[in-house]
Copies of this chain bind each other. A is one copy, B any other.
């Protein structure tokens, strides 16, 4: 029984896969901005106009010519004549001339002539009137500089500048930026289709009753959810028995209909070999990596056939899902043209010693326990969840995964570690 001849480090395995994956034009799809949360922008988006489009006040106060307030103080106020109140949402009707001012609200448009705003709390109606009315003299107790309490035209964004680059995944803030500029539709990358094949004579549909020796399909569903979450579209090709011709037929169909194919097979040597043979038969260059120095996930197979990634994941559900994060998600991100943001992690203190083999990358499910300290701040403790890699509930009990890199031979109790949330 041959074991794996050569186990590649995961980083190197991923590089080999990506070097062999041709750069393809990303398929665009025009959608409504309101429906774009989580999608990836497919082309640079430029500002059709400046934002703001007019001088805006950032405070409640009086729009003034800054030079008219020069030297104003509590003891020597400046006196300005009040014109009409500046309405919200339309152009001011009057110019601010020498010695004049206009009552303005936060967000209001500065009238021509005005270049600054004096805050209401630094003013007073001269004759002690309660509400300022046109014609009133306004006492100004504080000088303002040109531009003070004003947002300049284009201060948020200038006409023609790239506001959102291709590859950016849309969050609530991006939707706001697009709406601010009236961009109600945009081009996003189409969701890559990821074909999922489960293989194994012991695997049955989750809706069925198990008979002795049978287990329900887990991997098609965890991976489908992972694909969805990553911005892909999962397509399930069902459960294929351990017969090479049947697995090959299913894989060939998936390859022709999808952008990526993922096969999860049993973890026995024979089913692993069958998956590798099938991937090899689908097209050049075929199998690139067979065996990765990681735990869980050693039997993972990475291939490229007809320009598409074909990935064989171990049948153990923990291995399949963890290696889905490590290898399937980056392929989806590449197909989306995404520029990934930093991965969310939580720094936590390890509660026990965790030895690891030199050269191997370990991913250990971890539960975060978060007692509040006396400051009300949370300090996280990382409690590893031990269990064989076929126990799916070791993952449901976990908040994240602790990575032990290949060049580290373990972490000690009390060490601060980074937990990748999933």
Contact = CB atoms under 8 A, between A and B. Distances in A.
Interface stretch (A18-26, A46-54, A284-292): A46-54
A229 interface: yes
Given A342-B368, A398-B173, A89 B155 contact: no
Contact of A344 (B206, B271, B346): B346
Copies of this chain in the oligomer: 2
Contacts of A242: 88
B421 A376 contact: no
B214 A176 contact: no
A396 B174 contact: yes
Nearest to A179: B206
A317 interface: yes
B201 A182 contact: no
B315 A107 contact: yes
Interface stretch (A136-144, A186-194, A262-270, A300-308): A262-270
A8 interface: no
A114 to B, nearest CB: 13
B91 A321 contact: no
Interface string A315-336: 1010001001000000000000
Interface stretch (A76-84, A218-226, A245-253): A218-226
A180 B198 CA distance: 14
Contacts of A422: 171-173
A377 to B, nearest CB: 8
Interface string A391-410: 11111101100000101000
A5 interface: no
Contacts of A58: 388, 390
B212 A54 contact: yes
A391 B175 contact: no
Given A51-B393, A212-B109, A88 B266 contact: yes
Interface string A88-100: 1111100000000
Contacts of A157: 393
Given A89-B200, A393-B51, A216 B179 contact: yes
Contacts of A151: 388, 390-391
A173 B218 CA distance: 9
Interface in A353-389: 368, 370, 375-378, 380, 387-388
A408 to B, nearest CB: 10
Which of A176, A182, A184, A226 has most B Cβ within 10 Å? A176
Contacts of A1: 60, 120-121
A108 interface: yes
A144 B344 CA distance: 43
Nearest to A172: B225
A163 interface: yes
A69 B387 CA distance: 25
A269 B179 contact: no
A121 B3 contact: yes
Given A155-B391, A396-B163, A266 B107 contact: yes
Nearest to A157: B393
A315 B88 CA distance: 13
Contacts of A173: 222, 321, 392, 395-396, 398, 422
A399 B342 contact: yes
Nearest to A161: B393
Given A54-B212, A89-B203, 8 more contacts: A87-B213, A88-B266, A107-B315, A156-B387, A156-B393, A175-B225, A182-B209, A341-B421
21 contacts: A33-B221, A34-B221, A53-B215, A60-B269, A88-B213, A88-B266, A107-B200, A108-B268, A109-B213, A151-B388, A163-B393, A172-B229, A173-B392, A173-B422, A175-B222, A176-B321, A180-B317, A344-B344, A344-B346, A345-B346, A347-B347
Interface pairs A-B: 8 shortest CB-CB? A344-B344, A89-B202, A172-B225, A176-B222, A91-B212, A105-B268, A173-B395, A179-B206
